[in-house]
Amino acid sequence: MSVEITRLPNGLHVVTHHMPHLETVALGIWVKAGARDERAEENGIAHFLEHMAFKGTPRRSARAIAEEIESAGGEINAATGMETTTDYARVLRKDWALALDILADIFTSPALDPEELERERDVILQEIAAAHDQPDDLVFDLAQAASFGAHPLGRSILGTEQLIGAMSRNQILDWRNRHYWGSRIVVAAAGHIDHKAFAAEAERLLGNLAEGTSPQRETPSFQPTACTAEKPLDQAHLVLSFEAPGYRDPDIYVLQVLSNILGGGMSSRLFQEVREKRGLCYSVFSFGSAFEDAGQVGVYAATSPEHANELLDLTSDVMLSVAAQVTEAEVNRAKAQLKASLVMNLESASARADQIARQFLAFGEVPGIETLVAKIEAVTPEKVRDLALRLFSHRKPAFSAVGHIGGLAAYETIARPFA
């Protein structure tokens, strides 16, 4: 596995995976700073800053950024998460230096022009309104709040209309200056790339960033409750979730297998029992969300309001069934899907760049595929059953619902099967 890593004097790390059979390079700047690093009054500021990155720098206007990358046939974008923010691009292999120069420019020197800021403020307010109109988005925001309460993990990445409406340029700059340190940054690339040349260019462009310190994050506590929103919809969108290991916990691989068995595909228990046998819904799946020191495992489903209580009862039964019995065949199917997903990332430069950057930010290294496969292989039916018992038995779930929910059972009734 040709992953190479260089640490620059300012603590920034350069990580590459040379994929010589490709004609493209996917690259980006990943910083360990996201929505969970915001104060309550700053909610949405990381996402606001990400939007402003493409609105111009002292060297380039917003239009110039778009035209320069697209004239080379490339793509550029950004993303904000709970724990990371990313600016990334994909270009032909001969153009990686141009792409890195643009990414470094927007990352280090956003102009935050007042007129552009006001225009983008309106865009984000529309984005928030759109999210509120999308029940499958809103129900997951409510699931975060139902799980983590007032902790930053319990808040929406987008922020609120009130906070975004009042957010100032100085606030954005202050947040950036508190979090964009060299020691929190990984510059990664995958594709047809020479590591030494890439690292040298990264040092030229980003080597003057101050080293800074690691994030000081408040440890969350899982505080399950119910968060619901009545909407005039034809379906009820439902999420049941439980506290789960974070990505630094050795049980993270067991959790992934558990989630897959529960609702990870057409052969999963939930899909077979809830959709195929009972026809209670069109969409049902499980999820595992892992952060550095906390996690969630849960189930999403959308159904007609008259079926909502029956679906919740059946879902509870299926979740608890995993704590009672897990078969070797189920575990083997889940492990095969997880291993295939890891290997498939090797066929995409963009997926691989994202993977190696996030792995380094999480663990300070990039584990080999063989190491990860071995950890997946070590999962047994007994380990899955024991984890399900710990997570689901004698535990209160967080619950969220959006839609016509007036007929839903009380939260205490929904939670009772797990008591």
Each residue of 96-148: pLDDT tens digit? 999 999 999 999 999 999 999 999 999 999 999 999 999 999 999 999 999 99
Residue 215, pLDDT > 90, answer no
Determine if residue 73 is left, alpha or beta; phi over 0 gives left, psi from -120 to 50 gives alpha, anything else beta: left
Strands 85-92 and 75-80: antiparallel
pTM of the model: 0.93
- SS3 string of 240-300? EEEEECCCCCCCHHHHHHHHHHHHCCCCCHHHHHHHHHCCCCCEEEEEEEECCCCEEEEEE
pLDDT on residue 391? 97
- Residue closest to 81 by CA, chosen among 131, 155, 138: 155
CB neighbours (10 Å) of residue 137?
Answer: 16
Looking at residue 199, the DSSP 8-state letter turns out to be H
Alpha carbons 86 and 54: distance in angstroms, whole number: 12
Q: What DSSP letter does each residue of 95-147 carry, written as one string?
A: GHHHHHHHHHHHHH-----HHHHHHHHHHHHHHHHHHHH-HHHHHHHHHHHHH
CB neighbours (10 Å) of residue 315?
Answer: 28
CB 193, CB 24: distance < 8 Å: no
Each residue of 337-373: pLDDT tens digit? 999 998 888 889 999 999 999 999 999 999 999 999 9
Region 79-84 average pLDDT: 97
Question: First vs last Cα of the chain: how many Å apart?
Answer: 47
CB 212, CB 44: distance < 8 Å: no
CB 319, CB 239: distance < 8 Å: no
Looking at residue 78, the DSSP 8-state letter turns out to be E
Residue 251, pLDDT > 80, answer yes
pLDDT-above-90 percentage for the chain:
96
Phi, psi of 213 (to 5 degrees): -130, 170
- Tokens found for residue 84: 């990371």
CA distances to 57, 80, 88, 105, 258 from 140, in Å: 35, 16, 26, 34, 20
CA distances to 8, 49, 291, 327 from 357, in Å: 15, 20, 15, 35
User: Bridge-partner residues for 185, per DSSP?
Assistant: 31
Kindly list the catalytic residues: 50
pLDDT band at residue 1, thresholds of 50, 70 and 90?
low
Residue 57, pLDDT > 90, answer yes
Cβ contacts of 307 within 8 Å, gap of 6 or more: 280, 281
Question: In the chain, what are the domains?
Answer: 3-206 (3.30.830.10), 226-418 (3.30.830.10)
Alpha carbons 283 and 186: distance in angstroms, whole number: 37
Q: Which SS3 state, helix, strand or coil, does residue 226 take?
A: strand
